[in-house]
Amino acid sequence: MEKDVESVIDTDENQFYSKAKIYWSKVSPTINGVLGGFGHISECDINGSELFLKSLFQLKNPPGNGRALDCGAGIGRITKHLLIKHFQLVDLIDQNSDFVEKAKEYVSSDRLGKLYCNGLQCFKPEEKYDVIWCQWVLGHLTDEHFKQFMENCLESLNKNGVIVVKENITSSNEIDVDEEDSSITRPYDHLLKLFEESRLKCILKQQQTSFPKGLYPVKMFALRPV
Ligand SMILES: C[S@@+](CC[C@H](N)C(=O)[O-])C[C@H]1O[C@@H](n2cnc3c(N)ncnc32)[C@H](O)[C@@H]1O
């Protein structure tokens, strides 16, 4: 890995997180808000994720359908439109208390389990999960916290459990820094290296299709312990 995230962000680690917190505190608790004005891609995104999840359930040793965790869940968009349809219970975590509060009303299902308001950089799952879904949030973590979080997730997987990572990928080999929301976008090889260093192996990957031109390519990875 040429550079790590820690060396490309302008600020120190605490500021990297506090700037993100301030950014999200000004965003409305709506689908359009959590998707940065791209609310119109939500349906297409969920359809792509649905296909990916179905492929996971068709594996020879598929994950169970007991409990899932939605990480960086925002107002629970993925929980409501995807995870709740496939799992008995779905927990969610986001660092923004307004989003977590809104999620109760937005998801409104007795399958909604525990709601955590915390940063992933300080979070260790306390339950066991069949699927841990991380989408459009890992760019808010430094490389060190990314690896720590993945290792924490690994410890909380049920037998045949899977961590799903769905993230933007840079087309260049450079890490892109977004000063506005205080996040970064990693190149493909960088992500693979982080998986490897977190003792994760990729058992399935797919590219999200049909997104409007001009957006980052988005890839989905299903990860299990090496
Ligand atoms: C682009 S939104 C995506 C929301 C959701 N994953 C979705 O696809 O609808 C990013 C979310 O990550 C949350 N977030 C940002 N930094 C975080 C952190 N360090 N820990 C947990 N959540 C974080 C934000 O509050 C926001 O809800």
Question: What tens digit of pLDDT does each residue of 90-121 get?
Answer: 999 999 999 999 999 999 999 999 999 999 99
Tens of pLDDT, residue by residue over 201-215, are: 999 999 999 999 999
Say what the pLDDT of residue 1 is.
Answer: 57
Q: Which of 35, 46, 107, 137 to mutate to test the pocket of ligand 1 (most atoms within 8 A of CB)?
A: 137
77 is in an annotated binding site: yes
Tens of pLDDT, residue by residue over 119-159, are: 999 999 999 999 999 999 999 999 999 999 999 999 999 99
- Rounded average pLDDT over 221-225: 98
72 is in an annotated binding site: yes
Q: How many separate domains does the chain show?
A: 1
Say what the pLDDT of residue 17 is.
Answer: 97
Tokens of 3: 């550079």
- The least confident of 10-14, 16-20, 135-139 is 10-14
Q: How far is the CA of 193 from the centre of ligand 1 (A)?
A: 23
How many angstroms separate the CA atoms of 80 and 31, rounded?
A: 12
How many angstroms separate the CA atoms of 165 and 150, rounded?
A: 10
First to last CA, the chain: 20
Strands 129-135 and 176-178: unpaired
Domain that holds residue 178: 5-225
Question: Which CATH number covers residue 221?
Answer: 3.40.50.150
Burial label, 172 (beta-carbon count in 10 A; 0-12, 13-18, 19+)? exposed
Say what the pLDDT of residue 8 is.
Answer: 87
DSSP assigned state of 16: H
How many angstroms separate the CA atoms of 207 and 52, rounded?
A: 9
The minimum-distance atom of ligand 1 relative to the CA of 141 is: 19
120 is in an annotated binding site: yes
